[in-house]
Structures are given as C-alpha cells and as structure tokens.
Amino acid sequence: MRKSMAIVSLVCTVIIILSGFIIYGNGRNVEWFGITISPGVFGGIVAGFIVYDVIAMKNAFTADKKIAASETVIQARTMEKNAIDGTLASPCTVTFSRQSTVIGCAIGMQVYLNGTPMTVVNNGQTISMTTFVKHNELSVHYTAGNISRSIVFEAVPGGNIHIHIKYVGAKMSIVNQ
C-alpha cells in the first residue's frame, strides 16, 4: 500500500508538471484560490512535491525491507524454539480478529505467523490459520505506516487460540485459548 500510494503521488506530480507546461506554454497563468501563480513560484511548489515524492518512495521501499528483516528474525527464533519440542500431534487453530473502528477503516494490516505472510486483514475482518508447532509468534504490520505489533503464544494440539486486535493504540491480546 505504501508503494502504491507513493507511485500515485508521483503520477499526480507529473500530471501537475505537464499541466503547468501546457498552461504556461499557451501564455496563460495558473490560479490557485484566485491568486495568480508565477512560473517561478509554480516551479518551486512542484519542486516541493517532487522532494516529497522522492522521500515517500524511499520510505516505502525501505519499510518493506525492514519488515522482511524483522520477519526473518522471528522465523529463525521460532524455528530454534520448536527444534527442541518438535511438531504438535494435531494442528492448533489460530483465529485472528480485527475490531472494526472508524480510525482503522482505511488501513489494512499484513499478518504474519512465525515469519510467514498470511494475508492483509481489513477493518472488522477475521481470519483463521493453523499451526503445527508449539512456540508461535503472530505479528502485524500496518500497511500505511511503520507500526508493527507482535504477540508470542504457545499452541496446544487440537487447541483453538483467538487473538484480537483493536487499531486504536494497536493493542493485541489473546482473548481465549
């Protein structure tokens, strides 16, 4: 989502630049809110947009690398813990629920179980996963920012664990096991 929004912003900036060339090239002036903008001021505004777009693109691509690195660490940590205990006799079901809130309605969150990407969970959605290992870590990364949360839990054979998250304050808790 961060990458796509940064790309959309860059495309909008390019459209503004092309519009400026066309308008000023035809001998007219750009007016914003009834104020005539000179070509120099217009160029300065567009330069500000370009700087913003470059920073947004850089942040979008580095954020994904940071998420991948943190999930690799989680994956290694859970594999190490589970190497001793082995696998469960029967799978444990993990249900992840996201409370529906006004604040989080436009923001999806990528859910990972033991470092493996599961899906993007939107506002008010519930997903189910299964795990065959005792030591687990579920983490979420909000697609619109650099907010991440994780919770560590132990699964039991044939068990059912329900994890609930509320966007406000990004608090995650195990509701029942």
Number of independent structural domains in the chain: 1
Indicate yes or no: pTM above 0.75.
no
Q: Is residue 9 in some structural domain?
A: no
pLDDT in tens, the chain (177 residues): 567 778 888 899 999 999 988 988 888 888 888 888 888 888 899 999 999 988 888 877 777 777 778 788 888 878 777 777 778 889 999 999 988 877 667 678 889 999 999 998 888 899 999 999 999 999 888 766 667 788 888 899 999 999 888 765 555 555 554
Predicted pLDDT at 61: 77
Q: Is residue 139 in some structural domain?
A: yes
**Residue-number span of the structural domain to which 124 is assigned:** 87-176
Contact yes or no for 140/110 (Cβ under 8 A): yes
Q: Is residue 66 in some structural domain?
A: no
Q: What is the CATH number of the domain that holds 121?
A: 2.60.40.2890
> Going by C-beta distance under 8 Å and a sequence separation of 6 or more, which residues neighbour residue 30?
20, 23, 24, 36, 37, 42
Predicted pLDDT at 175: 57
Q: Is residue 29 in some structural domain?
A: no
Predicted pLDDT at 27: 87
Q: Is residue 18 in some structural domain?
A: no
